[in-house]
């Protein structure tokens, strides 16, 4: 079998899963239906395929999340490719194909969105093996999900003549149908849901891109030639990449090519595109409820209820989605959850932080959580991971008091360096050059009380930083 390189597409916001999925921490990095994040589950799904180290394509803001989540499950990626800006899936895959082809001209790419659910990984592995045999002959293979219902929320694939290696020729893509059309597709038996997963050689994809989208290929090739390596990260040239057309792989290549093939896949798949999907793939109780967290129900049926920070109780309801986080609560009918994106759009239009950030914000060194905010002060809980440190910095508008809750913190304040253990504290005056570091093998947890005339995260002047961040990013 040819060498298979997984290409994990880890961009996207997942706004229909708000308030749990937000721009700073979207659904692919969250544990939804598992103790692992969806990205981690996608990687674990590959273990029986004996694939090469993955290529991950993500945006700049999520680079350390990707690196840390892969590290925590013992996976070292071949590269984490940072899209300078979102240009849809066809250019993202082109970046990965160019990187893979430079290392191995015969490599096959298994392109997987990092936010899909698969209930039966063995069926997925079997379909990938069939697709690999087809792709070895130069085909561009997509995976079509065997439909279980007349779904109107997915696009469809029409499968054609059977191939000797297995699978079928790909006849055409079909847009999301109305209910009557979807019912006819289900009865026909040749129509499959469009999964957005693909397998092909890097060479075959780039050849088709050269034919159908030459401007896109040229822009991506120049972006990769001008790329800069930074640790595990590969940064394509932003100016060249910005000139690429922004198109999906379906529109740019797969709907045009004569080399398309489709392998049917029956693996309990879902793209987790809305909260109703988590109800569908979850394990219901005797009343048909799927429950996550501290939840009490009375006379409640067929509902998805998720509590993240406090008790949620329901009584006398049916067919609802109730999702609670520390700073927001969503209540919706299960058949209306596709409109959650409109809520996110409204939050964005009003410039509200709830569209972007959780109360707990993840940084490359650890995380911070805002506990309370009022006029002139803010209280945060800060966690510094083992071996990590914040930037050497100062603030123009605030002072800070630090109290260590657990671990041993190394504190630099102007010309002093001190080590603080549990219950010890220090004061960082306004304007002082300071740094917080963890030189131990255990997390450091502390409470920070900020006081001053302005407490925004952009009141940071960085003098040194391990993570290559500019002054506007905390």
Residue-wise pLDDT for 38-91, tens only, equals: 999 999 999 999 899 999 999 988 998 999 999 999 999 999 999 999 999 999
What's the average model confidence in pLDDT over 104-127?
96
Gap between the Cα atoms of 362 and 249, Å rounded: 31
Question: Is residue 474 very low, low, confident or very high in pLDDT (cuts 50, 70, 90)?
Answer: very low
Q: Which residues pair with 55 in a beta bridge?
A: 7, 79
Q: Which CATH superfamily is domain 360-464 in?
A: Jelly Rolls (2.60.120.10)
Q: Taking residues 204-213, report their average pLDDT.
A: 98
- Report how far apart, in Å, the C-alpha atoms of 423 and of each of 368, 383, 391, 418, 438 are: 19, 15, 24, 14, 16
- With 0-12 / 13-18 / 19 or more C-beta atoms within 10 angstroms meaning exposed / middle / buried, residue 224 is buried
pLDDT over threshold 50, residue 249: yes
Say yes or no to pLDDT of 358 above 60.
yes
d(CA 473, CA 361): 12
- Residue 422 confidence (pLDDT) above 80: yes
> What average pLDDT does the chain have?
94
Q: What does the alpha-carbon distance between residue 456 and residue 109 come to, in Å, rounded to a whole number?
A: 43
CATH 3.90.550.10 range(s) for the chain read: 4-270
Res. 472: pLDDT tops 70: no
237 φ/ψ sector (left φ>0, alpha ψ -120 to 50, else beta): beta
Outline which parts of the chain fall under CATH 2.60.120.10.
360-464
Name the more confident of 36 and 2: 36
Tens of pLDDT, residue by residue over 366-393, are: 999 989 989 999 999 999 999 999 999 9
- Position 360 scores a pLDDT of 87
Give the pLDDT of residue 61: 87
> What is the spatial distance between Cα 242 and Cα 84, in angstroms, rounded to a whole number?
8
Q: Give the distance, in angstroms, between the CA of residue 374 and the centroid of all CA atoms in the same chain.
A: 33
Q: What angle do CA 464, 466, 470 make, to 5 degrees?
A: 65
Mean pLDDT, rounded, for 385-411: 96
Is residue 473 pLDDT above 80, yes or no?
A: no
Average pLDDT over residues 108-114: 98
Q: Mean of the pLDDT values across residues 130-154?
A: 95
**pLDDT tens, position by position, 299-329:** 999 999 999 999 999 999 999 999 999 999 9
Task: Answer whether residue 467 shows pLDDT above 90.
Answer: no
Spatial CA neighbour of 451 closest among 370, 358, 374: 374
CA 39 – CA 49 distance, rounded (Å):
17
What is the C-alpha separation between 374 and 379, in angstroms, rounded? 9
Number of residues in the chain: 474
Report the pLDDT value the prediction gives residue 357, as an integer from 0 to 100.
87
Q: Tell me which fold the domain 4-270 belongs to.
A: Spore Coat Polysaccharide Biosynthesis Protein SpsA; Chain A (3.90.550)
User: What pLDDT does residue 456 have?
Assistant: 87
Query: CA 320, 193, 157 angle in degrees (round to 5)?
Result: 150
In this prediction, residues 241-270 reach a mean pLDDT of 96
Confidence (pLDDT) at 470:
62
């Amino acid at each position: 079998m040819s060498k298979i390189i997984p290409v994990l597409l880890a961009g996207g916001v997942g706004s229909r899963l708000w308030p749990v999925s937000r721009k700073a921490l979207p659904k692919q990095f969250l544990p939804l239906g598992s103790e692992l994040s969806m990205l981690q589950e996608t990687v674990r799904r590959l273990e029986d395929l004996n694939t090469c180290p993955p290529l991950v394509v993500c945006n700049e803001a999520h680079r350390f999340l990707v690196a840390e989540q892969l590290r925590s499950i013992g996976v070292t990626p071949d590269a984490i490719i940072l899209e300078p800006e979102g240009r849809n899936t066809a250019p993202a895959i082109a970046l990965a194909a160019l990187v893979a082809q430079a290392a191995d001209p015969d490599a096959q790419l298994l392109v997987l969105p990092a936010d899909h659910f698969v209930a039966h990984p063995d069926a997925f592995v079997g379909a990938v093996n069939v697709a690999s045999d087809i792709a070895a002959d130069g085909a561009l293979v997509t995976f079509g999900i065997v439909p279980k219902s007349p779904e109107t929320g997915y696009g469809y694939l029409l499968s054609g003549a059977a191939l000797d290696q297995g699978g079928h020729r790909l006849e055409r893509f079909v847009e999301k149908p109305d209910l009557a059309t979807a019912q006819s597709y289900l009865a026909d038996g040749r129509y499959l849901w469009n999964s957005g997963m693909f397998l092909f050689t890097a060479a075959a994809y780039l050849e088709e891109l050269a034919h159908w989208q030459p401007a896109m290929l040229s822009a991506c090739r120049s972006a990769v030639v001008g790329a800069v390596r930074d640790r595990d990260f590969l940064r394509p040239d932003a100016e060249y990449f910005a000139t690429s057309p922004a198109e999906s792989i379906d529109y740019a290549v797969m709907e045009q090519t004569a080399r398309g093939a489709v392998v049917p896949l029956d693996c309990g798949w879902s793209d987790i595109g809305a909260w109703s999907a988590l109800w569908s793939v979850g394990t219901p109780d005797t009343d048909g409820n799927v429950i996550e967290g501290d939840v009490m129900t009375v006379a409640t049926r067929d509902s998805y209820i998720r509590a993240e920070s406090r008790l949620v109780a329901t009584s006398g309801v049916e067919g609802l989605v109730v999702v609670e986080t520390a700073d927001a609560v969503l209540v919706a009918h299960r058949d209306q959850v596709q409109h959650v994106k409109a809520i996110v759009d409204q939050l964005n239009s009003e410039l509200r932080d709830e569209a972007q950030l959780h109360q707990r914000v993840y940084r490359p060194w650890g995380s911070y959580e805002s506990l309370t905010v009022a006029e002139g002060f803010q209280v945060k809980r800060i966690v510094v991971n083992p071996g990590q440190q914040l930037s050497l910095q100062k603030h123009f508008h605030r002072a800070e008091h630090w109290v260590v809750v657990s671990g041993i913190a190394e504190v630099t304040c102007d010309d002093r360096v001190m080590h603080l253990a549990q219950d010890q504290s220090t004061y960082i005056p306004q304007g002082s050059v300071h740094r917080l570091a963890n030189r131990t093998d255990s997390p450091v947890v502390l409470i920070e009380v900020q006081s001053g005339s302005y407490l925004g995260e952009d009141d940071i002047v960085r003098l040194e930083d391990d993570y290559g961040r500019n002054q506007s990013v905390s």
